[in-house]
Amino acid sequence: MSTTKTIQSALISVFDKTGLEPIVRQLHKQNATIYSTGGTEDFIKNLGIPVVPVEDVTSYPSILGGRVKTLHPKVFGGILNRQDNPTDIEQMKEFNIPQIDLVIVDLYPFEKTVASGASEADAIEKIDIGGISLIRAAAKNFKDTVIVPSVAEYELFLGMITQGNGATTIEQRKYLATRAFHVSSNYDSAIFNYFNTEDTFYKESIANGQVLRYGENPHQKGFFFGDFDAMFTKIHGKELSYNNLLDVDAAVNLIAEFKDNEPTFAILKHNNACGLATRKTMKEAYLASLACDPTSAFGGVLMANGKIDTETAKEINSLFCEVVIAPSYDDEALNILQEKKNRIILTINNVPLPQRQVRTCLNGLLVQDKNNITDTKEHLKNVTITEPTNQEVEDLLFASKICKNTKSNTIVFAKNNTLIASGTGQTSRVDALKQAIEKANTFQFDLHGAVMASDAFFPFPDCVEIAHDAGITAVIQPGGSIKDELSINYCNENKVAMVFTGTRHFKH
């Protein structure tokens, strides 16, 4: 039997009629018999095209307020019969079941209904039963039946039957079946997650994936699954890479800590801040941020917590950077930044971020709640005789926000709302501290009067001793070591202020 089949009959039952008309007209042009229900039936009639009500096939009307329309053996038999199976052929004749070669369905908009804040009763009414069954049945029988499972496939399908003069190949039908099972699984996952209250159940389905040029390295394939266009407006530049996206993610999470602050500018490299400063103007914030580590800033991702103006753009334009992100830009600032052809310029939109973090691990996944605790004055507990000054408290909280968003083990130095240096991703906290001191010295920062933040407690007093010798006068850490007193005693003996937050901020 030929694997190319001509569509002679179609069942059409859709919620969204957008783009349906040209398909119906093409099917009519090919003399296909069209079966339909309810509003779709009226739509086709209004086009002046003959349509057979499903009720005429089943001898049952639409019942229970439209909840049951197509759930009948004569409908599903017409879809699921195997055209090369003698028993199926005989039973089709015996029970007078019409052949259905094509099914076009568009499911009730469950996700949109939930997102609109609708009541539970309204959401439940948007759980499609007949439609999802039709999709699965037609997709299962792709050898003989064509399935068009959503509006997203209308244009594709129309091109197939126009080019094929009403016929489809087995490859086309199998491809559409794959799309159909994606639609059904995505739909079911959305419904499950609406009802799910069990933390030990995890289902996720993302409908819009993007193929990247490559992954972390050129020999690796890379994909992004998410709605990038909802979160950002891309104004200029080349396509974002896998590594760009990771850095953009890190920048977004870091700047979120400073959303309501005075102008704040961050420069990131390999997911870590190499520069960050808060100032009275964005230009001053950018220049102070760049001064933190101008070497690492080369090729980095830049992000501001407010509008980038013309003066700031002029300064940025002299730096080679991959990505610039801000809530808004002056017109002239955009003109300046777009002078570099490949520079990616993004406007960030106010879109909520997921509250769970997921990563692959071994043969499964690790899932955790997002770290939504930001240390504030209310969290601070003075544990030393010497208390931090008001400026030191401000710098301690500033440093803590950076520390929280930097790879562990990490140490962060800050002074006057400026990142001075950090030690990142080290296997020991002492190594992180020594790295931070070396970086500060490299760029000739005076650590006297600076503060230090640590993402976890100090098991020994060596870190506070080394930091004090370098000029650090105040320390913020979570506390919780059985040997906390050793660090506290050293600080008391040397008039160093230390505060505990009670919250560890590991970031592996």
Dihedral pair phi/psi, residue 166, rounded to 5°: 90, 0
Helix (H) or strand (E) holding 333: helix 331-337
Closest CA relative to residue 293, chosen from 423, 431, 420, 434: 420
Answer whether the bond into residue 165 is a cis peptide, omega within 30°. Answer: no
- In angstroms, the first-to-last Cα distance of the chain is 58
Distances in Å between the Cα of 306 and the Cα atoms of 29, 215, 291, 372, 390 are: 57, 31, 20, 22, 25
Distances in Å between the Cα of 224 and the Cα atoms of 194, 206, 311 are: 24, 10, 34
Closest CA relative to residue 274, chosen from 257, 295, 256, 253: 295
Closest CA relative to residue 146, chosen from 78, 72, 51, 74: 78
Using alpha carbons only, give the angle 39, 45, 48 rounded to the nearest 5 degrees: 155
Which residues are known to be catalytic?
Answer: 140, 270
Distances in Å between the Cα of 497 and the Cα atoms of 12, 99, 125, 284, 396 are: 73, 82, 61, 29, 11
106 residue type, one letter: D
Q: Judge residue 119's burial from the number of C-beta atoms within 10 Å of its C-beta, 0-12 exposed, 13-18 middle, 19 or more buried.
A: exposed
Dihedral pair phi/psi, residue 104, rounded to 5°: -120, 120
Q: Judge residue 471's burial from the number of C-beta atoms within 10 Å of its C-beta, 0-12 exposed, 13-18 middle, 19 or more buried.
A: middle
How many angstroms separate the CA atoms of 244 and 266, rounded?
15
Residues in Cβ contact with 444 at an 8 Å cutoff, skipping those fewer than 6 apart: none
With b for 16 or more beta-carbon neighbours within 10 A and e for fewer, the 53-73 pattern comes to: ebbebbeeebeeeeeebbebe
